[in-house]
A and B are shown apart, each in its own frame.
Chain A
Amino acid sequence: MHEMAIASQIVEQSLRIAAEHGAGRILEVEIEVGAMRGVVPEALQMAFTVCSEGTAAEGARLHIATVAARARCKLCGREFEPQYGFFVCPACDRADVELLAGQDILLKGLECRSPQEADRP
Chain B
Amino acid sequence: MRIEVVENVLKANDAVAAANRRLLERYGLLAVNLMSSPGSGKTTLLERTIPMLGPAEPCSVMVGDLQTTRDAERVGPYTVQATQINTGTGCHLSATQVAEALGRMELERLAYLFIENVGNMVCPAEFDLGEHARAVLLSVPEGDDKVAKYPTLFQKADVILLTKVDLLGVLDFHIDRVREDLARVNTRAPLLRVSSRTGEGLGDWLDWLRRTRAAAAGAGA
Contacts and interface: CB of A to CB of B under 8 A. Distances in A.
Interface in A1-56: 1-2, 4-6, 9-10, 12-13, 17-18, 21, 23, 31, 36-38
Contacts of A96: 187-188
A76 to B, nearest CB: 14
B95 to A, nearest CB: 11
A115 B1 CA distance: 8
A107 B152 contact: no
Nearest to B182: A95
A36 B35 CA distance: 18
A109 interface: yes
Interface stretch (B9-17, B26-34, B71-79, B162-170): B9-17
Contacts of A57: none
Given A17-B5, A108-B5, A5 B94 contact: yes
Interface string A90-116: 000011100000001111111111110
B91 A2 contact: yes
B186 A110 contact: no
Contacts of B91: 1-2
Interface in B181-215: 183-188
A107 B3 CA distance: 11
B9 A13 contact: yes
B3 A84 contact: no
Interface string B115-129: 000000011011100
B179 to A, nearest CB: 12
A87 B184 contact: yes
B90 interface: yes
A85 interface: yes
A94 B4 contact: no
Interface in B148-186: 150-152, 155, 183-186
A2 B3 CA distance: 27
30 contacts: A1-B91, A4-B90, A5-B90, A5-B92, A5-B94, A9-B10, A9-B11, A9-B12, A9-B13, A18-B3, A23-B1, A38-B122, A38-B125, A38-B126, A84-B151, A84-B152, A85-B150, A95-B184, A95-B185, A105-B10, A106-B9, A107-B5, A107-B8, A109-B2, A109-B5, A110-B2, A110-B5, A112-B1, A112-B2, A113-B1
Interface of B: 1-13, 90-92, 94, 122-123, 125-127, 150-152, 155, 183-188
